Amino acid sequence: MPVDDNITAPLYHSDWMTVVLLLSGFFIWSVWRNAGSFLEQKSFEVLHGHNRKSLFASNTVSEFRMGIVLSIVHILITGLFLHQIAVYFNIGGGFLFYLELCLLVLLYHTLKIGIVKYWNYLLGAGEKTSEWIKSYQVFNMILGLLLLPVVVVITYTYRGTETGLNIGLFLLVIYLVALLVRSVNIFFSNLSSFIYVILYFCVLEILPLMLAVKVALNSG
């Protein structure tokens, strides 16, 4: 139920939002001891474009577990932030709507990874796919962690709504720009190939989002 004054009152929230935030906090706590080293190592590998021996090479189960947990946090928190945007603009709201947004986020990522794999298979650049997927997953994990305090501020403060939404949108823009730059560096050694950059943007950014929204609308 949206409020009349978006500046002086918090966005609509219910007990299920608190449960989502507590669940996200629990997931982060469950991997807290090693999550910092895990993200630091993965970020190093992404930024330097090569694979060093993982800090968790002797325990791949722990590495896989942390990746899954942080990916779940990303979906829960990103879905909640999108829900807050939707409520602010009176587009929709409620727990079922939130679940649909989480499903949309998951569907978007699944479609995007699938399109990247298929596209690189057609172009004969399959060896670059794993490097891109690793970068993509790391950026998603970091985005989820950065958005967590933002959604907490939006949910529980009276005068931080618009500031929180602006910060969250700024983080999303930075995320998209960083992902675009990283993807171009991986797939295009010659940055003068502008047409291929445009093709990348249309195929790997816009198409998955359009397909995910279409599927969500048809299912609704």
126-154 confidence digits (pLDDT tens): 667 788 888 888 899 889 999 999 999 99
Spatial CB neighbours of 23, under 8 Å, sequence gap ≥ 6: 76
Instruction: Please give the share of the chain, as a percent, with pLDDT higher than 90.
Output: 27
* Confidence at 56, pLDDT banded by 50, 70, 90: very low
Q: How many domains does the chain have?
A: 1
Domain-located, residue 104: no
Domain-located, residue 199: no
| Helix boundaries (H) for 31-94 | 32-48, 60-88
Of 34-43, 166-175, 191-200, the one with minimum mean pLDDT is: 191-200
Judged against a pLDDT cut of 90, whether residue 79 lies above it is answered with yes
Give dist(CA 170, CA 164) in Å, integer.
10
Q: Which residue has the higher pLDDT, 27 or 41?
A: 27
What pLDDT is recorded for position 75?
96
Domain-located, residue 153: yes
CA angle 16, 39, 168 (to 5 degrees): 45
Alpha carbon 198 to its chain's center: 22
* Confidence at 18, pLDDT banded by 50, 70, 90: very high
What pLDDT is recorded for position 1?
41
Enclosing domain of residue 67:
15-97+123-186
Q: What are phi and psi of 14, to 5 degrees?
A: -135, 180
Domain-located, residue 111: no
What pLDDT is recorded for position 9?
42
Q: What's the DSSP call for residue 56?
A: T
Domain-located, residue 55: yes
What pLDDT is recorded for position 121?
72
Please state, rounded to an integer, the average pLDDT across all residues of the chain. 76
Domain-located, residue 53: yes
- Specify whether the CB–CB gap between 95 and 68 falls below 8 A: no
Q: Which residue in the block uniquely carries the two structure tokens 């947990």?
A: 69
Q: Is the dihedral of CA 11, 23, 100, 74 positive or negative?
A: positive
Domain-located, residue 24: yes
What average pLDDT score do residues 42-63 get?
54
Domain-located, residue 197: no
Judged against a pLDDT cut of 70, whether residue 205 lies above it is answered with no
- Specify whether the CB–CB gap between 205 and 111 falls below 8 A: no
Spatial CB neighbours of 144, under 8 Å, sequence gap ≥ 6: 70, 71, 73, 74, 75, 76, 77, 78
